[in-house]
Amino acid sequence: MLYWALIFLIVALVAGVFGFGGIASASAGIAQILFFIFIVLFVVALIARAVRGRAP
């Protein structure tokens, strides 16, 4: 998921450089949403691992 967030961020930067404001803002918004979803899933995975303990 972090991979897709980075892809949309790169698309937003390239579109911004070439002057496509609508595409740039949409791609930046998608990248931001995917990044926050990734962060939430990462924190949930950390908590789940801490609760279950280490695997043998």
9-34 residue pLDDT tens: 888 888 888 888 788 888 888 888 98
Q: Would you say residue 55 has pLDDT above 70? A: no
On whether the CB atoms of residues 1 and 42 are closer than 8 A, the answer is no
Question: What tokens does 7 get?
Answer: 């892809």
pTM here?
Answer: 0.68
pLDDT band at 36 (very low <50, low <70, confident <90, very high): very high
Structural domain boundaries, residue 18: 2-52
* Sequential DSSP letters for 23-55: HHHHHHHHHHHHHHHHHHHHHHHHHHHHHH---
Position 56 pLDDT exceeds 70: no
Q: For residue 3, give the nearest of 45, 35, 41, 39 by alpha carbon.
A: 35
Task: Count structural domains, the chain.
Answer: 1
**What is the tens place of the pLDDT at every residue in 43-53?**
998 898 889 87
